[in-house]
Amino acid sequence: MKLTLLRGRIVRQDRVGDGALLLGDGVILDADFRGNTPEAAEVINVKESYILPAFTEIHAHGGGGHDFLDCTSEAFRGILDLHFAHGVTLLCPTLTACSWDKTMEFLTFCEDMKHHPCFGGVHLEGPFLSPEMSGAQNRACLLAPTDALADQLLEHKAIIRRITVAPELPGAEAFARKMSAAGIALSIGHSAADAETVRRAADWGFSQVTHLYCSTSQRFKRGSYIVGGIVEAALTEDSLTVELIGDGHHVCRESLLMTLCCKGAERVCIVSDAMRAAGCEDSLTESWLGERLPENRVIIEDGVAKLPDRSSFAGSLAAGDTMVAALCGRYRLPLVLISRMMSEVPARLLGLGASRGRIAPGCAADFVILDKQYHTTAVITAGEKVEVSYVR
């Protein structure tokens, strides 16, 4: 067995400190190695740099000029390479609402690409969304879930990991129960549901909320009464884990801190919601969310994508380490919490909690090495070091 001794500033679940990890056979053998260096071991010493479990990204549409809906192997590999260079070794290709035919084409395409080592299973963010809360999604493509559509999706159940659905849509309960029984995670999103509907949806199998505070309802007045929305229900229902977009633009610091107070880091998952323009030249001023269609055109401004009328954000330009920099710098969150929300929590949501996302014996020897500015300098995957150089 090839042994590797990895030394540096290790970011664990509860502390950051100098230490060493012994790796072998693609996993962590000793998570707090203190003995003499084994003779046969290769030593990787990253010195002052941080060693974190590699990031798992459960919500990303694109990057590097590509969108997964381009449905080409060049786009697929280009997006995964871009995110890899920012420390992501497992990613869920995420679909924006598009025609049903295109949805099926995307699923068939992902079946062909499923052996890529960074493929984490598909996330369908659409088309079962509320027109009222469509955000930047193409409203003309939204549908209510039906049994027939569910059956078509289940033909690809081996690669579908999660589906974002507005639970107030007609047919949502039957759809959710069917998907949940097939082992597919359900996430509430792009929805105007009230808190009561959210609580019922949790009984149907919904366990997550997609980008809380973005296209999610909040308390509102019904007659003279105040009624809770998704935000209030998500913050108070322990069974729900929430996504937050970590690019430093989509969520204000107060909402982020309020969420952490209510949920704890173990029920918050940081996602990028990265779109096509992530990782592109700073001079880029326009792009497309999803397919390259005139109606999907968006503008790039102030480091984020927006609808042309600036009424809504349209995905982020973030990827992996750039979110660490935003969350540490702008929001002043501790690195241990950020690491948990970007590695441990998403791995658990994908059912991989025992084998990924933590620095513990038996977990994957997948790490991201960050310098003091939180830039990725190398990625270690299955115990092998890959130097990373990416033009930002």
| Chain positions contacting Zn ion, by CB under 5 A | 125, 273
As measured in angstroms, the least distance from the Cβ of 343 to Zn ion is: 20
As measured in angstroms, the least distance from the Cβ of 141 to Zn ion is: 14
Q: Are 145 and 42 in contact (CB under 8 A)?
A: no
Residue 337's nearest CA partner among 83, 52, 60, 88 is 52
* Residues contacting residue 210 through CB under 8 Å, at least 6 positions apart: 59, 125, 164, 187, 188, 189, 190, 216, 243
Please tell me the distance from the alpha carbon of residue 308 to that of residue 312, in angstroms, as a whole number: 9
- Comparing CB distances to Zn ion, the nearer of 250 and 375 is 250
- Comparing CB distances to Zn ion, the nearer of 167 and 189 is 189
Please tell me the distance from the alpha carbon of residue 80 to that of residue 94, in angstroms, as a whole number: 12
Strands 367-370 and 42-53: antiparallel
In DSSP terms, 242 is beta-bridged to 209, 268
- Comparing CB distances to Zn ion, the nearer of 84 and 313 is 313
Q: Which residue is nearest to Zn ion (CB)?
A: 273
Please tell me the distance from the alpha carbon of residue 182 to that of residue 93, in angstroms, as a whole number: 20
As measured in angstroms, the least distance from the Cβ of 123 to Zn ion is: 8
As measured in angstroms, the least distance from the Cβ of 2 to Zn ion is: 39
In DSSP terms, 186 is beta-bridged to 163, 206
Burial code of 286-316, b = ≥16 C-beta within 10 A, e = fewer?
A: ebbbbbeeeebebbbeeebbbeeeeeebbbb
Q: Are 291 and 102 in contact (CB under 8 A)?
A: yes
- Comparing CB distances to Zn ion, the nearer of 184 and 314 is 314
As measured in angstroms, the least distance from the Cβ of 228 to Zn ion is: 24
As measured in angstroms, the least distance from the Cβ of 70 to Zn ion is: 16
- Comparing CB distances to Zn ion, the nearer of 271 and 335 is 271
- Comparing CB distances to Zn ion, the nearer of 86 and 178 is 86
As measured in angstroms, the least distance from the Cβ of 173 to Zn ion is: 24
- Comparing CB distances to Zn ion, the nearer of 70 and 273 is 273
Residue 248's nearest CA partner among 330, 305, 313 is 330
Amino acid at 301: E
- Comparing CB distances to Zn ion, the nearer of 125 and 291 is 125
As measured in angstroms, the least distance from the Cβ of 8 to Zn ion is: 33
As measured in angstroms, the least distance from the Cβ of 279 to Zn ion is: 16
- Comparing CB distances to Zn ion, the nearer of 57 and 125 is 125
